[in-house]
Amino acid sequence: MIAQLFQAFFFVNVANIPELVRTGKLDSLLVLPIDSQFAVSTKQFSLDSIVNAGLGGVVVCVALSRLNVVPDLTSILLYLVALGFGIAVHYSIMLALAAVSFWIVRAQGLVYGYFNFLNIARYPDAIFPWLFRLIFGWIIPVVIIANIPARLLIKSLGQPWWLMLHLVTGLEYCFPPVTRLLEICPQPLFQR
């Protein structure tokens, strides 16, 4: 769900940033009378991915019914919040990588490389060694973005508030640039 929703709303745009830089088309976006990050990040959508995200939702429901787990309202809310955080983490990492194109011009390798790297997030964190978990759980919090929400739904796998704290910490201290879009309604983004 996270990857598909990210793909639906942001991936096409962020992956296109190096090309905008290379061709000089970014200039035409920068002069628009709207926030530049908003203009660059929301120009296109990949709507077929939304349907596939729905499929992911169906599989989650099937898996929960097989596990005989009935999540309460708090778990569902935390799950949805964690879903948003997961997308925000992806967005922030990928935007940071795309921004490298200002120095090296063609940075598609970085962006698509990261997108493939996301595959590690769909495996249980238990399979990774502790150093790997430390790096990709705290410094580049890729592994936690799927593991924590899954643990939130399946309560026996952890304490929800501690898991959320881990997720929030991972997002906040690693990727301050993203918080600009995360603070989405107020000041910097929408004031202009």
Partner 1 sequence: MRRYIEIYSIMLRNSLIRELSFKANFLLWMVVEILWFCGQIVFFSIIFANVDRIGDWTKWRSCCLSARTK
Binding site for partner 1 (CB under 8 A): 1-4, 34-35, 38, 42-49, 51-53, 55-60, 62-64, 66-67, 83, 118, 121-127, 145-147, 149-150, 153-154, 156-157, 185, 189-190
Q: How far is the CB of 37 from partner 1 (least distance, A)?
A: 12
Continuous H helices in the chain: 1-6, 12-23, 26-30, 36-41, 48-66, 73-99, 101-104, 108-117, 130-134, 144-153, 160-174, 176-182, 187-190
CB within 8 Å of 75: residues ≥ 6 apart: 152, 153, 155, 160
Output 60 or 182, the one with its CB closest to partner 1. 60
Output 103 or 129, the one with its CB closest to partner 1. 129
Output 107 or 137, the one with its CB closest to partner 1. 137
Q: How far is the CB of 103 from partner 1 (least distance, A)?
A: 29
Output 47 or 70, the one with its CB closest to partner 1. 47
Q: How far is the CB of 90 from partner 1 (least distance, A)?
A: 11
3-state secondary structure of 106: coil
